[in-house]
Structure 1
Amino acid sequence: VVVEDIVDTGNTIEELKSIFKEKNVKHLKFATLFFKPDAYTKDIKIDYIGMRIPNKFIVGYGLDYDGLGRNLPDVYQLAQ
C-alpha cells in the first residue's frame, strides 16, 4: 500500500505505479488522506480515500504552499 498525503492530478500516482511495475510488484494499492476528484486525470484506482475535497489549495499538517504553511497544526484552504 502506497500512502499519499494528497492526490490531485494523479501524476505522482502514475509515476509510482510505473516504478512498481518495473519492480514486478504483484499487488499494489493506493491510499490518500485527501483526494481532489475534480482535478484527477488518471484511470488508476485510488483504493482508500480519507476525504474528498474540492479542487482548492490547502496547507497545514505537512502540506505547504511555496514552502509556507507546512507546520500549521490543522489544514486550511487558501483564499482565492
Structure 2
Amino acid sequence: MSRAIINLGRALSFGFWSYGTSGSNFFAALIAGYTLPYFGTWQSQFYIAGFLSLIVAVFVLFTFRPQREQVQKYPRSQWCTMIGCK
C-alpha cells in the first residue's frame, strides 16, 4: 500500500486504507438513503453498489500501476530478511 501512495508516507497511506471499511459503510447508507425512495426495492441497492464498484475497479486498474523500478526496489531476499519469509 505504501508503494501506491509514495508521496504521502506510510502512516497516512495506511490511514486512508483503514478508512475504507468505516467510510464505505457510511457511503453505502448515504446512497441507500437517497436512492431507496426512488427505486422502492432493496434489491436495487445491490445493482447500484455493483455498478459503483465496477467504476472504481476500472479507475484503480488504470490509475494505480506501480512503476517497474518501484516494484524491483527491494529484491526478494531482502524482503525475506525484513518480514521473515518461510
TM-score normalised to structure 1 length: 0.29
Richer in helix (by share): 2
Give the number of the structure whose alpha-carbon radius of gyration is greater: 2
Richer in strand (by share): 1
TM-score normalised to structure 2 length: 0.28
